[in-house]
Structure 1
Amino acid sequence: MSEPAAPKARKAFPRGELRIVSPSGAVPQPQRVQRAAQHLGELGFRVRIDSAALLREQRFAGSDARRVQALHRAARSRASVVMATRGGYGLTRVLDALDYALLHEAVSRRGQVWVGHSDFTALQLAMLARAGTVSYSGPMASFDFGAERVDEITQESFLDVVDARLEAVGFECPDAPRSLDASGVLWGGNLSLVCNLVGTPYLPRARGVLFLEDVSEHPYRVERMLTQLLGAGVLQRQRAVLLGAFTDYRLSEHDAGYDLPDVVAWLRSRLREYKVPVLSGLPFGHVRTKLCLPHGARCRLLRDGTDAYLVFGHSHGGHHLAPGAHAHGTGHDSHDPH
């Protein structure tokens, strides 16, 4: 099989400072962060790797205090983009120590773009719940930009955000209801982290489009977490539920055919009485090809043919689409466990 083509070059005009931080797990392969810095530099960023980004204390990227300091340092910096190195585990330990007013000011007044996925979901949910702060669910330094070959769609979707071109994203979704038209806040991320924050002040009481993904979770555990969100009343109050990638699990003989499609069918049956559509196929998760999504922004979810579109306000401005999707508007290996 031939190697994937390198991403097409977009004009590398100056894009400001991009700061790389490690708010969760220790980085097992520092060379991937260096490779990411080089690649992002070629895209026009002045890359600054935070002084604590490559620390290790047990499984964490430094002590809790050092990781909190790194996030606050990033918020006070001149960076236009703050990107996580990787996920892992660690952010839920420090949510009560963060200065949400400082983080919100960095985003709302100075336009910082905070981006990541996996364990980064905990920070995004807390920022949204505590201050209404919009962040971006998208690529990370080690997993995405530290790869030998950076996925073209992942890169272009991220640059659409940075270049203020994001107006809509679209993807193939043949199971979308023909009358699909749902509006509200786009929020969610990693299913395990969403569930983990139920009953805490860090879970938004959003009513909108909830998107979910996970990695290394058996379908019955995915279903069990969804039952928790049902029991907590989270799913019933959504306008729609979007399912991304659920990857890297292994079935056993005991499953007797039970798999993720059965979980999706079960979820649809439970949400039917609440008229909450469940759509699959969102290009997002612990996969190479992922869209960069404005977490906490208002959106409208529509169907056009066999495609579904998330349409955002003009403040996010362009879009980039996953394979099989069509333009709408003005523009177009190993996993990192959460």
Structure 2
Amino acid sequence: MKKNRHIYIYSPSSAVRDKAAFRRGVSRLRALGHEVEIDEAALAVHQRFAGDDATRLAAIGRAAASGADVALISRGGYGLTRILDQLPYKALAKACERGTSFVGVSDFTALQNALLAKTGAVTWAGPAVGEDFGAEGGADEIMQACFDDLLEGQGEGTGWRVPARDAGDGPLLPRSIHGATLWGGNLCVLMSLLGTPYFPSVDKGVLFIEDINEHPYRIERMLEQLRTAGVLARQKAVVFGQFTGMRKVPGYDRGFGLPSVIERLRSQIKVPVLTGLPFGHVQTKVLLPVGAQVELAGDGRELFMVWGHGPLGHRHAPGHDHDHGHAH
């Protein structure tokens, strides 16, 4: 039997412009029986932000003090990198220890990785209220199932199928990966942290990345910076999520696209480069524990990531023909 949970909704980044989507998201969460508490500044507006810096810092503090089961962002956008040197890291880490799961996507990457770098606390890459729970067509079933698993304390892993075009010739994952820290998120936001105290020093981790509205050459340029900075070679795997809204220039790129970027990256580093993770600025997104220890295994094009307990060999990933799924 599902338990009703306390969900705290706040706005740490950009202002909520689509209030209809916000209201739909809140209504759907309440219809599921959850206690939904909306921060007093959730719909504040200052320039492009959800209130000025002080307002958003106070909202983050209230989310940390809420005692909620889940602290869920209203939306991403931009705003957290402005206030990383002022975040209440100790309060956020203590809230995580007490059982509050901080969930978000996009700009939330900044807070997640800064918190990981400063305290080692685990947060969740996942949905936002408006774009996911408030989607006009309804919340995505897989995203909803993964969120329910988090609420019930049952989320133990995920599985997906690598697209055939990215499979390559040899095994995608020559050997299983154990005890690796999962980290990353939005590539552009992550790059803004490189060289700062808020960029996690993760060795032998699993780095996952996604982005939206970036030309393939910009994606490659960011990856090149990570590579030449020595970050990629220190990982056990690099996992591409969904890169959407790419704007190639007809007649100019001449076949250069994300597959070209991936192929070149694989030729430059010895670390496995995997693709197809159902996460990013897409409706079908799984929830991923940023900062947690994970295991990663592959069987042909099927990949499995586990952070719960139990052997990888006993996991499976139900979904749409295994293209996306979540393990229970």
TM-score computed with the length of structure 2 as normaliser: 0.91
Cα drift, residue 195 of structure 1: 0.7
Q: Does 2:220 correspond to 1:217?
A: no
Q: Secondary structure at the match of 1:212?
A: strand
1:17 maps to 6
Q: Does 2:109 correspond to 1:112?
A: no
1:245 maps to 242
Q: C-alpha offsets along residues 271-316 of structure 1, whole Å, 9 cap, x if unaligned?
A: 1xxx30000100000011000011110001101243100011339x
- Tell me which of 132, 135, 141 is aligned to 2:123: 135
Q: C-alpha offsets along residues 216-249 of structure 1, whole Å, 9 cap, x if unaligned?
A: 0000000000011012111110000000111102
Q: Is the 8 A contact 2:294 2:305 kept in 1?
A: yes
2:231 maps to 234
- Count, aligned residues: 314
The letter of the residue matching 1:61 is: A
The letter of the residue matching 2:240 is: L
Structure 1 runs of 4+ off > 6 angstroms? 326-329
Q: Does 2:292 correspond to 1:297?
A: yes
Cα distance change, pair 320–62 in 1 and its aligned pair in 2 (3 A): farther
2:48 maps to 59
Which deviates further from its counterpart, 72-81 or 168-177? 168-177
The letter of the residue matching 2:74 is: T
- Tell me which of 13, 38, 47 is aligned to 2:36: 47
Distance 1:172 1:270 in 2: 24
Distance 1:282 1:327 in 2: 8
Q: Is the 8 A contact 1:298 1:312 kept in 2?
A: yes
The Cα RMSD (Å) is 2.0
- Tell me which of 251, 254, 257 is aligned to 2:255: 257
The letter of the residue matching 1:154 is: M
- Tell me which of 275, 280, 283 is aligned to 2:278: 283
Structure 1 unaligned residues grouped into runs of 5+: 1-10, 333-338
Q: Secondary structure at the match of 1:165?
A: coil
Q: Is the 8 A contact 1:157 1:320 kept in 2?
A: no
TM-score computed with the length of structure 1 as normaliser: 0.89
- Tell me which of 118, 122, 141 is aligned to 2:110: 122
The letter of the residue matching 1:58 is: Q
1:34 maps to 23
Q: Secondary structure at the match of 1:314?
A: coil
2:161 maps to 172
Structure 2 unaligned residues grouped into runs of 5+: none
The letter of the residue matching 1:138 is: G
Q: Secondary structure at the match of 2:233?
A: coil
Instruction: Report % sequence identity.
Output: 48
Cα distance change, pair 322–58 in 1 and its aligned pair in 2 (3 A): farther
